[in-house]
Chains A and B, each alone.
Chain A
């Protein structure tokens, strides 16, 4: 309060007229406040000091922000961006690697499957071949035996056939002998049988 009251004469000092003085005193008598009807902000005697001081502080703050704070903050932002991009890059790489490994495993499985399929096919073929060979061999044996039997049958039949002609000629000779009383010779009978056959 006391400071204010002393500042009153300062404010009105440029025009120290008697009238002004009385005005000031009456106002002081009224309530001690030295509002002369207007806002305190329009007391221009304090403007210069505030403006100069504010410009001074503003300049320092600008310098600090431009040279220290903003670059520091940008560095953190850039660092973060690079960290994130590196992490993403690494993740992508790992993913690609995993995909490659999965591909390789798949190929391996495919290959194993193919090789097992081939082995199975080979085994099957071998077994089939063996079976075929065995069958063929057995068939050959059987065929040989059949042929043998056939020849034996043929031989027996031939023998029988010769016996048949002998019996026929004998029978014919006997029939002729009985009919005519005189038997033909063996050669004649054989020729006649041959001619009848």
Chain B
């Protein structure tokens, strides 16, 4: 049976775009090349841009089908930023919408390609860090030193506050990690499970399991079909969860004074 982890292998696509090992000043030795991961990101990017162009270029007051789909996504994220962040939400809408559409595009693309960009830790970590750094930068720019109030739990008894505050601080630092691992784990896990069950189907079909394959085949095929449907749901849900958490984290620092 094929190795289910093989699909996560990052490899340079053409020797023409393979620049080999390079030693960079701070990051050290890296392999610069246009890999399958880059290709998946590019297709995902082009899909999102193409879709949004299609939706908005001929936008009419009475929407057609494509426009209705785009407007649903748009309205969903708009409602999210509006309800979670409040009246300042409009300002952060483009960021949340970018995160949402880009992750959704790459997640869904993973259902059609043999490579899923969002199952790469490097990719999800980048999303996690972009969101985290944006939250920190906005927090400090908007609130200055009062940004630290985020870790000062006014609801807790005075004696407990430093301890709870410390916990709050560490949980804040863990946010990019949880964002990263949630998306990464969901996408990778789903694709591994799909590959494993699809592998069982292949094993049964080529007769490697003997007559036992007759029993395995329908079960494994059913699981593969069910998991495929589930993975489409997960692809959407994880993009949405990432967007919701981004909104919640932004709300923490944007409405620092009114919150709690």
Chain A residues engaging chain B, CB cutoff 8 angstroms: 3-4, 7, 10, 13-14, 33, 35, 39-43, 45-51, 53-55, 57-58, 60-62, 64-66, 68-70, 72-73, 75-76, 79-80, 83
Q: Interface centre among A35, A53, A60, A64, by most B CB within 10 Å? A: A53
A41-B98 contact, Cβ under 8 Å, with A50-B38, A54-B41: no
By beta carbon, the residue of chain B nearest A35 is B5
Compute how far the CA of A7 lies from the CA of B95 in the bound complex, rounded to whole angstroms. 36
By beta carbon, the residue of chain A nearest B49 is A64
A14-B29 contact, Cβ under 8 Å, with A50-B10, A58-B102: yes
Contacting residue for A61 out of B31, B102, B123, B188, CB 8 A: B102
Contacting residue for B126 out of A54, A61, A64, A76, CB 8 A: A54
Compute how far the CA of A13 lies from the CA of B25 in the bound complex, rounded to whole angstroms. 18
Residues on the A chain within 8 Å of B52, using CB: 64-65, 69
**Inter-subunit contact A45/B41 (CB<8 Å):** no
Residues on the A chain within 8 Å of B71, using CB: 73, 76
Contacting residue for A35 out of B3, B32, B127, CB 8 A: B3
B37 at the interface (CB under 8 A from A): yes
**Inter-subunit contact A73/B59 (CB<8 Å):** yes
Chain B residues engaging chain A, CB cutoff 8 angstroms: 3, 5-6, 8-12, 20-21, 24, 27, 29-33, 35, 37-38, 41-42, 45, 48-49, 52-53, 55-57, 59-61, 63, 70-71, 74, 93-95, 97-98, 101-102, 119-123, 125-127, 130, 184, 188
Compute how far the CA of A10 lies from the CA of B32 in the bound complex, rounded to whole angstroms. 11
A50-B120 contact, Cβ under 8 Å, with A33-B3, A62-B95: yes
Looking at chain B's contact residues, the main secondary structure is: helix
By beta carbon, the residue of chain B nearest A13 is B21
**Inter-subunit contact A76/B121 (CB<8 Å):** no
By beta carbon, the residue of chain B nearest A66 is B94
Contacting residue for A40 out of B9, B31, B33, B97, CB 8 A: B9
Compute how far the CA of A35 lies from the CA of B37 in the bound complex, rounded to whole angstroms. 18
By beta carbon, the residue of chain A nearest B52 is A69
Query: Nearest Cβ in chain B — how far from A182, in angstroms?
Result: 146
By beta carbon, the residue of chain A nearest B35 is A46
Looking at chain A's contact residues, the main secondary structure is: helix
**Inter-subunit contact A50/B29 (CB<8 Å):** no
**Inter-subunit contact B35/A4 (CB<8 Å):** no
Residues on the A chain within 8 Å of B102, using CB: 57-58, 61
Contacting residue for A49 out of B3, B6, B31, B59, CB 8 A: B31
Compute how far the CA of A54 lies from the CA of B126 in the bound complex, rounded to whole angstroms. 8
**Inter-subunit contact A47/B122 (CB<8 Å):** yes
**Inter-subunit contact B9/A4 (CB<8 Å):** yes
A61-B48 contact, Cβ under 8 Å, with A45-B29, A49-B30: yes
Contacting residue for A70 out of B10, B93, B125, B184, CB 8 A: B93
Residues on the B chain within 8 Å of A73, using CB: 55-56, 59, 70-71, 74
Compute how far the CA of A68 lies from the CA of B31 in the bound complex, rounded to whole angstroms. 35
**Inter-subunit contact B101/A61 (CB<8 Å):** yes
Compute how far the CA of A142 lies from the CA of B5 in the bound complex, rounded to whole angstroms. 135
Contacting residue for B98 out of A7, A35, A40, A65, CB 8 A: A65
Compute how far the CA of A68 lies from the CA of B55 in the bound complex, rounded to whole angstroms. 12
**Inter-subunit contact B10/A76 (CB<8 Å):** no
Residues on the A chain within 8 Å of B60, using CB: 76
Residues on the B chain within 8 Å of A60, using CB: 45
Compute how far the CA of A18 lies from the CA of B50 in the bound complex, rounded to whole angstroms. 51
By beta carbon, the residue of chain B nearest A11 is B31
Compute how far the CA of A68 lies from the CA of B128 in the bound complex, rounded to whole angstroms. 25
**Inter-subunit contact B121/A41 (CB<8 Å):** yes
By beta carbon, the residue of chain B nearest A82 is B61
Residues on the A chain within 8 Å of B45, using CB: 57, 60-61
Q: What 4 A-B pairs have minimum CB-CB distances, sorted nearest first? A: A66-B94, A72-B56, A48-B30, A45-B31
Query: Nearest Cβ in chain B — how far from A63, in angstroms?
Result: 9
